[in-house]
Structure 1
Amino acid sequence: MDSGLFTANNVWMMVATVLVFFMHTGFALLEIGLTRQKNTINILFKNIFIITCGLLLYYAFGFNLMYPNFLDGDLGIFKFGGFGIEPPENGMTVSYANGGYTWWTDFLFQGMFAATSATIVSGAVAERIKISSFMIFTVIYVGLVYPIVGSWKWGGGFLDSWGFYDFAGSTLVHSVGGWVALVAITILGSRIGKFDKNGKSKAIPGHNIPIATAGVLILWLGWFGFNGGSVLSADPELTSLVLTTTCLAAASGGFGAIVLSGIFYKNLDLTMFLNGILGGLVGITAGADLMSPNEAVLIGFIAGLIIVLGVSLIDKLKLDDPVGAVSVHLICGIWGTLAVGIFGAKAGTEQFLTQLFGVLIIGGFCVISATIVLAILKKIIGVRVSRDEELEGLDIYEHGMDAYADFRTNEH
């Protein structure tokens, strides 16, 4: 491989890294837009904490836990490569990763994925979790749970040897975050006023839907790096295919959601439309490199239908998910992972069963680990704010500030 191609590959991977980083802006805007004004600072604080803490943890040991001794094919379940990061011999040369990128680019790209997975939980637990408990949980989740699960596939572990396939993380990123979100909202309980005395769900409108819409469009843009970067080079044919299937699945996901929600609820719900787009993106992520455009459209459309059904199911279970994270990331993540065994180049019964076993194993590990950690936190310091704090808003009680200053108080 000549130096020009190596440079082009590495530049594309760095651009993809920047796009994935930009997704944190999208997550933050989506979460604050779909929740109430009085909790805006709290949500923004959590999102900034996730990216800063996540990168430092991934630097300290997450990367080495997820990719331990990558030159050694014998990978144990909890094998660990040591603290800190240091490029291996030839890590900056074309001999590393088949000339797709350098070792430093590898670390930074993967670090962005690690931080993204924790952001999924942030939206689900919004408006009622203690900030201290969330911060401790994030440290454990990003530092241990995500890298361990990632090592089973992307680190060359036992799921990889089984043939489990997850191109860019429908399960390893999105379902991992979704399982943890499901456990967290079950333990936390619903927000005050979410369900009436008869158990009927009541809408708690977000305070800024235009900002939420901007957040989804930013996430859609960022997904070009999320999936496109997962090609792990600037290969023209495969990268262009992945960007096409990703974009088509997003569009059809939004369309599927608005069609079914219109039939069910007799209105054109913008928030359902937005989550349908995200559901389509999550659904295509496991097999974006394997699908034809037609298959991508079908996978995305089904994901959009799943969003509407998933939101209804969450309500029926008396669970409170303010931003629809469980429906988008868990349920559509499972769908996308299973779709690899139904559509595309790897479709077949054996592959479908491998995908199913992978989903169940990872789901079981995430549910058990999240339950243990949250139960301990609940016992020691508590996980939910008091009733008065929740009613007043977490911005004042947790941070002592408002997101939107009332300049009328400064008039003379």
Structure 2
Amino acid sequence: MTFKLNFSQNSKPKYRRRRSSLRNAPQRPENSIFEKLSSTIGKLTPSWKACIPLASIMVLLSAYSAVAQAPPGDLPETLTDTEQLRIGLDTMWVVIASILVIFMNAGFAMLETGFCRQKNAVNILAKNLIVFALATVAFWAIGFGLMFGDGNPFIGFSGFFLAGPDNSPAMGEAYAGVFDSLNWTGVPLAAKFLFQVAFAGTAATIVSGAVAERIKFLDFLIFSLLLVGIAYPLTGHWVWGGGWLATLGFIDFAGCTAVHSVGGWAALMGAAFLGPRLGRYQDGRPVALPGHNMSIATLGCLILWVCWFGFNPGSTMAANHTIAHIAVVTNIGGAMGAISATIVAWMYLGKPDLSMIINGILAGLVGVTAGCNVYSLFGAAIIGTIAGILVVFAVTFFDNIQIDDPVGATSVHLVNGIWGTIAVGLFHVEKGLFYGGGLAQLGIQLLGVVSVGGMTVLLSTIFWLVLKSLLGIRVTEDEELKGLDIAEHGMEAYSGFLKDNRGMAGGGP
């Protein structure tokens, strides 16, 4: 059997009409910031226009000279060959784990795109791609210093642009007491930064899914910068930067609260301020707006599952024997989350919903994140099971209060970020209530949930309100109906592909 493609003259007008539709796509109001900026630049002479990139380069060079530091030198000569080998292996493990966490951006992109409609695919992919670039720069410039720099129990004041000494006490625990006499912290600062910037990018990406299909591209980018540059490192300093929560004994090994809950709270506020998508609720009842490609959503889930073995085990910041146990705990949490979510969705909704299976896996992975180094395997199984149950009811709860979250980000990351943090106070093999540890650790965990959540909600509300008043955070009704791919980016994710396939299959145009 052979197929013959027909490139006849009859197909040309279709292409011209599609190009014409792009030209006629809705444009931004003339009073927007971009329009004013473009108009101002357009009035400049070519000589002045050429000065703009030159001035930008000069500003960057001046900033570099202000924070310039010598490149890292060799290891101290007093270290033995065994110690140098250990540092090398630990550094290599941290870098590999960082790469896995960074690759989670691919998983989030596939998951969110598949869960949303075809007309918004390019927009979602663009957000997930650019957000990590923005997060890298924001965290390098200011976030890492605020989070891990010397300061007070509430905020750091040094280490911006990675200048200055290594002031990241919480990430040097793997080497506590090992190289104290040598003033050496083990894993170099660059490796620590790479791992932490991957986490920061994850927090911003969580927001993307909850506000999908109706937020302006520019507003999302600005909010991501503010979240990664200010809100995330501020509360992160309390947890991981030697701040007041760490001093009290708050435990969040790999980021249930520091990463997932922060992203979840920011996402919840964004979804609330944006309002639901058009047609999502009718007569007070939710109406399904099905995702266009569950295949890539499933692929995204599997990518995230695999990359979680960098997220949790990598938080050891050392290639030691605990990595294997943490990996097994992580896997059991995800597996039990999938099973329990499948069973509950089957009983509650009448069908084994694939989207619930996907979110059940992610909920279980989030649930065991805070204490994956201090759980038994049976404890991890219970935590993952409860996480899978919670996510099913959380999705329907947010639907009932008309918080439109197209991918279930708040149900996965916020609800189970809170559950995972509390679970430490229950299932910690030494300090947990169920293991005879009393209520002390549980109380500290609850305090961390409330304090970090309160601060994130406060800052996110300020950011969203300012953006809403200055720029307007939501696209127009016409743009939302046409799809953000055309309205915001002037292109389609599947331009010609779906049309041609339908035509060849006899399905019409």
TM-score (norm 2): 0.77
SS at 1:84 equivalent: helix
Distance 1:338 1:356 in 2: 6
CA contact (8 A) 2:153 2:242 kept: no
Distance 2:167 2:108 in 1: 36
Correspondence for 1:283: 367
SS at 1:21 equivalent: helix
Correspondence for 2:156: 79
1:315 has 2:399 as partner: yes
Distance 1:305 1:100 in 2: 41
Deviates more, 1:298-307 or 1:42-51: 42-51
Q: 1:380 to 1:101 in 2, by over 3 A?
A: same
Q: 1:36 to 1:90 in 2, by over 3 A?
A: closer
Q: CA deviation at 1:87?
A: 6.1
SS at 1:207 equivalent: coil
Correspondence for 1:122: 208
Distance 1:106 1:90 in 2: 11
Correspondence for 1:231: 316
Q: CA deviation at 1:213?
A: 0.2
SS at 1:382 equivalent: coil
Where does the alignment leave 5 or more consecutive residues of structure 2 unmatched?
1-81, 169-174, 433-437, 504-509
Q: CA deviation at 1:82?
A: 4.7
Q: CA deviation at 1:318?
A: 1.1
Correspondence for 2:291: 206
Correspondence for 2:464: 374
Q: CA deviation at 1:344?
A: 2.1
1:3 has 2:87 as partner: no
Correspondence for 1:359: 449
Deviates more, 1:80-89 or 1:133-142: 80-89
Amino acid at match of 1:120: I
SS at 1:285 equivalent: coil
CA contact (8 A) 2:144 2:233 kept: yes
Q: CA deviation at 1:99?
A: 5.9
Distance 2:479 2:423 in 1: 43
Q: CA deviation at 1:98?
A: 7.0
Distance 1:120 1:60 in 2: 22
Distance 1:203 1:278 in 2: 21
Q: What do residues 358-383 of structure 1 show as CA deviations (whole Å, max 9, x unaligned)?
A: 10011111111111111111111101
Greater relative contact order structure (CA < 8 Å, 6+ sep) = 1
1:66 has 2:147 as partner: yes
Amino acid at match of 2:468: K
Correspondence for 1:143: 229
1:133 has 2:219 as partner: yes
SS at 2:285 equivalent: coil
Select 1:186's aligned residue among 232, 257, 272.
272
Alignment of 1:137-176 (within 5 A): 137-176=223-262
Q: What do residues 56-95 of structure 1 show as CA deviations (whole Å, max 9, x unaligned)?
A: 11111111111013xxxx624233115311363899x994
Q: What do residues 168-202 of structure 1 show as CA deviations (whole Å, max 9, x unaligned)?
A: 00010000000011111111100011111x21111
Amino acid at match of 2:106: T
Q: CA deviation at 1:49?
A: 1.5
1:12 has 2:93 as partner: yes
RMSD: 2.0
Amino acid at match of 2:355: T
1:222 has 2:312 as partner: no
Select 1:395's aligned residue among 467, 478, 485.
485
Q: What do residues 266-291 of structure 1 show as CA deviations (whole Å, max 9, x unaligned)?
A: 11101100000000000000000000
CA contact (8 A) 1:100 1:234 kept: no
Q: How many residues end up aligned between the 2 structures? A: 404
CA contact (8 A) 1:87 1:104 kept: no
Q: What do residues 119-139 of structure 1 show as CA deviations (whole Å, max 9, x unaligned)?
A: 000000000001111111111
Select 1:299's aligned residue among 352, 376, 383.
383
Distance 1:293 1:99 in 2: 31
Distance 1:82 1:251 in 2: 40
Correspondence for 2:496: 406
Distance 1:378 1:302 in 2: 37
SS at 2:493 equivalent: coil
User: Higher Cα Rg: structure 1 or 2?
Assistant: 2
Amino acid at match of 2:311: F
SS at 1:78 equivalent: coil
Correspondence for 2:24: none
Distance 2:167 2:128 in 1: 35
Correspondence for 2:8: none
Q: What do residues 287-314 of structure 1 show as CA deviations (whole Å, max 9, x unaligned)?
A: 0000011110110000000001101110
CA contact (8 A) 2:118 2:493 kept: yes
Q: CA deviation at 1:5?
A: 1.8
Correspondence for 2:52: none
Amino acid at match of 2:367: G
Alignment of 1:335-354 (within 5 A): 335-345=419-429, 346-347=431-432, 348-354=438-444
Distance 2:408 2:140 in 1: 31
Q: 1:158 to 1:99 in 2, by over 3 A?
A: closer
Distance 1:312 1:288 in 2: 28
Select 1:88's aligned residue among 158, 165, 183.
165
